[in-house]
Structure 1
Amino acid sequence: MKENEFYGCIRQILANAPRNQYTAELHLQMIKYADELGNITSKEFCEGVGLKKSFGTEFSKMRNLTKRLRAAGLKPELL
């Protein structure tokens, strides 16, 4: 999947997320697309999805969490 394609998917899902579930959905998408996001900086991610740069911290947290989840058996591609 190309970079602009997964950014578009994430933007669409976030646009349809209930207001009280926006951040949880953002985290889920970061985990789901972890492979595609592997070489992307938090700044690039925020710009690509159209988020405030303050969400870069969340991006970094989810990248680290994904490694631990995978070690525990999670398959992000199934999300």
Structure 2
Amino acid sequence: MNESVIYEQIRKALADAPRNQYTAEMHLQMIKYADQLRSVTSKEFCEGVGLKPSFGTEFSKMRNLVERLKRAGLDTELL
């Protein structure tokens, strides 16, 4: 799946998320696509999804966290 398709999927998931679940959904989407977006900078991610640049820190955190979650048994393909 190419980056533009991933960004569109993330935008849709965020648009469909209940208002009080927006941040949780954003984190989940970041984890879900972390492997496919490994070479993307946090700035590029935010621009691609249409998020404020300040969310770049969250993207970096989730990308770092995903390796630990996978070692604990998380299958990101099931998200």
Q: TM-score, normalised by structure 2?
A: 0.97
Spell out, residue by residue over 1:25-69, the C-alpha distance to the aligned partner (whole angstroms, 9 max, x if none).
000001111111111000000000000000001001101110100
1:33 alignment partner in structure 2: 33
Moved over 4 A (4+): none
Calculate percent identity across the aligned residue pairs.
73
Q: TM-score, normalised by structure 1?
A: 0.97
Gaps of 5+ in 1: none
Q: CA RMSD in A?
A: 0.6
Gaps of 5+ in 2: none
Aligned length: 79
Please tell me whether residue 54 in structure 1 is matched to residue 54 in structure 2.
yes
Secondary structure (helix, strand or coil) at the match of 2:73 reads coil
